[in-house]
Amino acid sequence: MVVTDNVVDMSLSTHPRSEHSIRLRIDGAIRDKDPLRIGGAIRDYEENIMKVVITGGGGFLGSMLCEALLKQGELTAPSGKRQRIESIVLLDAVFPSLSVDPRVTRKVCEISDREAVFDAVGTDADVAIFHLASMVSGECELRFEDAMRVNLDGGRNVFDAARAAARTTDELPRVVFASSIACFGGDVIADCFSDSSKHLPRTTYGMTKTICELLVNDYSRKRFFDGRSVRLPTVIVRPGKPNAAASSWASGMFREPLAGIDCPLPIRRDQRHPMTGYRTVIDSLIALHELPESRLGGDRAVGLPAHQVTPLLAEQVLAEVAAEHDLTIGKIVEAYDDRIQGIVNGWPTAIDGSRAMKLGLPQPPPVKEIVKQFLEDFASV
């Protein structure tokens, strides 16, 4: 809107505290947020617009979260009110494909690049941050220094950028951090781990996740931002090729046979492992963001409920799905790896997700339904 003399000129510009605010220029003077008397009526022309930042936005969960948020169209802002999502900024070192939605901006960088992270988050309190970027478990065991630089220093960069974006201690950006059940462990693995279990990670990956969980708790206590950590079980079924995660077999033992390919199994066939579906994880990330902080208390980390899955169960589910869909499936074949089995031995075998369910976060559907969802979403991948 362009105005001369007594007419208002509205344009998108950079606000020192809100980079997406609509600014008003009247008679050469810029007035932000103040109600303006125009034509005898008092009106507030500022429109608060929500920006979402997703680190790890080029990955599987990051891209699915982006898609879900675009479809939803709004989130709860620091004010506690629902606001329209105007833009989503994705941060990642690599993006597999081009974005087609004009609301999405892709920024190629590592979260260890502090300046790039601060630039992406900006100084707008009307921002939501989902911190998913991380080196995976197998990589962290082999490259300790890189794990510290990316997972730990990178996490601090994201958290400090969120702190810088806070307008007041009453209107704090919400930060959702993707943690992991790898925070738990020990010389003797308990039958089941819950949100009250002691953290004793047996991997570098789990150690970095534990420290970031504690940072989220303390930054929230200090009123730097309004943080929440979602402690993820292993997420299945991921499309594409196997990655360097020590849990990569969990998706592979479903994905490869469904494609008619044999899957090498580096662990015991009776190994129990907590797993959940990717749709449930996306719903949980958003639901945890939307929860009022009063319901979380001082412990901001919430462990998601999960199924105990074994390769033996996977074979049974695959046989049932193959029969129902007339599929010729591959086999799960022995390829035992002492290193991978050793890592898995230090992880929980069962998770108590009762706190998450009390907070209203969803339970995963049966494993068979998770596999069917994968076929529905990625059968051609």
Q: Residues with Cβ < 8 Å from 61, sequence gap 6 or more? A: 132, 178, 235, 278, 281, 282, 285
What phi, psi does 264 have (nearest 5°)?
A: -70, 135
Q: In what order do the strands lie in the sheet with 307-309?
A: 234-236, 273-277, 307-309
DSSP-derived pairing of the beta strands 41-43 and 36-38 = antiparallel
Is residue 308 classed as helix, strand or coil in its secondary structure? strand
> Residue type for 188, please?
V
Residue 53, Cα to own-chain centre: how many angstroms? 10
What phi, psi does 197 have (nearest 5°)?
A: -70, 150
What phi, psi does 265 have (nearest 5°)?
A: -115, 115
C-alpha separations of 365 from 309, 320, 372 in Å: 13, 16, 11
C-alpha separations of 327 from 136, 241, 343 in Å: 32, 20, 33
What phi, psi does 308 have (nearest 5°)?
A: -85, 115
Structure-block tokens of residue 172: 């704090």
What phi, psi does 290 have (nearest 5°)?
A: -80, -15
Structure-block tokens of residue 350: 């069962």
Q: Residues with Cβ < 8 Å from 67, sequence gap 6 or more? A: none
Q: Cis ω on the peptide bond leading into residue 104 (within 30° of 0)?
A: no
**Cα separation, 360 vs 351, whole angstroms:** 17
Q: Which residue has the tokens 């969960």?
A: 61
**Cα separation, 343 vs 206, whole angstroms:** 11
Catalytic residue among 45, 205, 219, 278, which?
A: 205
Per the annotation, the verdict on 205 as an active-site residue is yes
What phi, psi does 249 have (nearest 5°)?
A: -60, -25
Do residues 263 and 336 lie in contact, with contact meaning Cβ atoms separated by under 8 Å? no
Residues acting as catalytic residues: 205
